[in-house]
Amino acid sequence: MTNIKSSLCEAFCGALEVNKVPAGYAVSTGQIGPDGDPIGFYVVGPNDEGKYRIQDDGLYMCAIESAGGDLQNKTRLATFTSLCDEYGVHREEDTGELVTAAVGSEAIGASALRFLSFLIRIQDLVWMSTERAVSTFRDDATKMLKDLIGDKARIVSDYVVSPGLQEVPADLGIIADGRPPVALFFGLSDARLMEALLLQAWAQQRREECAVIALLETEGAASTKMRQRANNHLTAVPNFRGEERAACARIAREALGFDPTLQ
């Protein structure tokens, strides 16, 4: 029992480092953050009432956002807000610093543990950007397409190419004047890619002019066989994650006839 306890103590506290800084104390933990550094925080104080608050340096959220967990996305923003409420943390509007309420010295330990849990949990915002969370992927891709295309074309959801093809609506339609419409499918599974192939085949059969594109979130979003079929038959099958802008530019180019990123 004693060995287990010391082993756990070593694991939890062995890497703990506390340094005195002018504002208070700088604390480093054994947990690694999104940018490869140990997660750390500051115990700032005492204030006039002899209390301390726990905070970051104002850059932790920048690291999260830079790793792909930006809060422009509604799903991520809602998650972030909910975690802030749960852990009693708020983000200072002017500095971007994540801070807790001020507590007495006897409560610093508990407050610091809660703050550390919060920092670890908000790393999930990055995970949400790479995990196959349907709404996050759709939100990110749709927002980027709208940013790229602006008012040069109309972007509609659940797009039906023509009345005869209403059985297979695309996730998005991009319609520019004088150009064939683009029917965009978010390729989240083999089944979705199959629907894209079906629309392509039916449109060809009915001589409906349109471009059918499947946007994959990652290379592994569909089976190799299905990706091969999609690559061979669809207009384009770009990969989103890691090359978000380039993937959306490929779609925009098909819709507009030119690359809006070069304008």
Partner 1 sequence: MRVKAVIAAEKQIVDAGAWKDGKMPNVAFPLSKSTLNVNANYRWRCIHFTAAGGSYRLLVFYRLDLHKCNMYLGRHDGKIMTVIARFEWHGTHEGWHFHVPKDCDDTGLVAGRTGGCEKRLPQCFEHHRKSSFGVTSDESAYMLALNTFRLAKPSKQFDLVMQ
| Total residue count of the chain as it appears in this document | 263
Query: Least Å distance between CB 69 and partner 1?
Result: 10
186 near partner 1, rule: CB under 8 A: no
- Name which of 22 and 163 has its Cβ closer to partner 1: 22
Query: Least Å distance between CB 34 and partner 1?
Result: 8
96 near partner 1, rule: CB under 8 A: yes
Out of 41, 87, 137, 159, name the contact with partner 1 by CB under 8 A: 41
54 near partner 1, rule: CB under 8 A: no
Determine the Cα–Cα distance for residues 36 and 203; give it in Å rounded to an integer: 49
Amino acid identity of residue 128, one-letter, is M
- Nearest-5° Cα angle at 232, 227 to 238: 55
- Nearest-5° Cα angle at 12, 10 to 17: 90
84 near partner 1, rule: CB under 8 A: no
Stretch that binds partner 1, among 36-44, 110-118, 167-175, 199-207 (CB under 8 A): 36-44
Query: Least Å distance between CB 263 and partner 1?
Result: 11
Amino acid identity of residue 213, one-letter, is I
- What b/e string do you get for 179-200 counting C-beta neighbours within 10 Å, with b at 16 or more? bbbbbbbbbbebebbbbbbebb
Determine the Cα–Cα distance for residues 241 and 1; give it in Å rounded to an integer: 47
Out of 17, 131, 167, 209, name the contact with partner 1 by CB under 8 A: 17
Out of 8, 9, 59, 191, name the contact with partner 1 by CB under 8 A: 59
Alpha-carbon separation of residue 158 from 66, 110, 183, 187 (angstroms): 31, 49, 9, 14
Residues forming the site for partner 1 (CB under 8 A): 15, 17, 19, 21-23, 26-28, 32, 34-38, 40-42, 57-59, 61-63, 65-68, 70, 94-97, 242, 245
